[in-house]
Copies of this chain bind each other. A is one copy, B any other.
Amino acid sequence: MRNIGIGIVGGGYMGKAHAVAMLAVGAVFGTGLRPRLQMVCATSAASAERYRADYGFVRATTDWRVLVADPAVEAVVIASPQETHRDIALAAFAAGKPVLCEKPLGASLDDSIAMTAAAEASGVANMVGFNYIRTPASQFARQLVQSGAIGRVVWFRGEHTEDFDADATQPANWRSFGAANGTMGDLSPHMINAALALIGPISSLVADIQTVHETRPGATGPARVTNDDQAQFLCRFDGGAMGHLMFSRVAHGRKMGYAYEITGTTGAIRFDQEDQNAVWLYKAEGPQAERGFRKILTGPLHPDYLPFCQGPGHGTGYQDQITIEARDFLRAIETGQPVWPQFRDGLAVMQVVEAAHQSHKSKAWVEVSK
């Protein structure tokens, strides 16, 4: 058991989730490396100091370069806005420090390519924060698919739908501007990652992207929204399966519609993050009159279930996903073995996003570059 100094860039929503995860992960999972909250970086001195005190960091800074450079910071978590990811990651890798970077990997495909190259050149641990796929339920679904429990996959339907922007009278905010903050840029990566993780690479797609609410109340009158609020594409996977992915921030009634259905030649799987501890499994076996989708509650028999929960039904929550992620990041550092999902997995997602934008513009099927 050894101590490791963690630096977190960003102290808001995701920065806090990572800080809590680092506080808890050692006791929860009995990790070999034990995190020490060494330094937090925020945009103002006041907020940095507040995060430091609140979460229990040793130091605070407003300059991520100070954080990256500090020898007491032995690993870096990037939880700042997308456009900062590239510079911070490159500096950290240059300093030989492992990086756990929030999704999406970069603000652009170029950024993501550069970051992946730097990660792989550095040889240190690198990971992307696709935490939804880390639930016991989704890890179990992945295990089922990979073990052939439902045969060869012929169909995948995934969606990430929420309704935080469904009210047209809601004023414009940072989400309303810039492709990177649109539905394809910001919301789609989690579910694209799920599709790739569960089924495999996407070979081609045809996309349609739309702005439903074209203006929103702004400070000085109506503001024009410059990005998309719903999008979808048809695709084919390398293995031949058909797919459909859909993303929306205007889907009334959906609060965490990270959901998918997988059909194979001998069974099927269904999952919805709104009931995040259940996997629905159908197997074409046993008496026909007794077949049906069964609702499996995840528990100690399923991958990544939190070890202090002795029985099934002790539900996993959002924060647990981040703690599981922290465990794997520490494990990658400790063992020197790569842990999925790495930067190249984040890059693969960006390549699909890019293909979707191209297809929407060309109104045609496009191949996904790899």
Contact = CB atoms under 8 A, between A and B. Distances in A.
Interface string A123-153: 0000000000000000010000000011000
A121 interface: no
Contacts of A27: 16, 19-20, 23, 54-56
A309 B313 contact: no
Given A155-B230, A318-B309, A30 B17 contact: no
B319 A302 contact: no
Interface string A254-279: 11110000011111100001111110
Nearest to A37: B27
A208 interface: yes
Q: For the complex, would chain A's binding face be called helix, strand, loop or mixed by DSSP majority? A: mixed
A369 interface: no
B292 A296 contact: yes
Contacts of A28: 20, 319
Interface in A49-88: 53-56
B255 A297 contact: yes
Interface in A177-221: 206, 208, 210, 212
Given A162-B313, A208-B242, A317-B316, A253 B267 contact: yes
B315 A164 contact: no
A306 to B, nearest CB: 7
A166 B265 contact: yes
A289 B317 contact: no
The residue among A162, A294, A318 with the most chain B CB atoms within 10 A of its own CB is: A294
Contacts of A1: 53
B289 A296 contact: yes
Contact of A252 (B163, B253, B267, B278): B267
Contacts of A312: 255-256
Contacts of A299: 255
B314 A256 contact: yes
Contact of A23 (B23, B166, B281, B316): B23
Contact of A248 (B155, B281, B289): B155
A290 B281 contact: yes
Given A164-B311, A233-B234, A251-B263, 18 more contacts: A16-B308, A24-B24, A27-B54, A27-B56, A30-B54, A34-B56, A154-B230, A206-B365, A234-B234, A252-B268, A253-B267, A253-B282, A274-B278, A292-B296, A294-B295, A309-B319, A317-B317, A363-B365
27 contacts: A26-B55, A28-B319, A150-B252, A154-B250, A206-B234, A208-B242, A210-B242, A232-B234, A251-B263, A252-B264, A252-B265, A255-B299, A255-B311, A274-B277, A283-B290, A288-B301, A289-B302, A290-B296, A292-B294, A292-B296, A306-B319, A308-B319, A309-B318, A316-B318, A363-B364, A363-B365, A364-B365
For the complex of A and B, the 6 pairs showing the least CB-CB separation, nearest first, are A256-B313, A317-B317, A253-B282, A255-B313, A294-B294, A292-B294
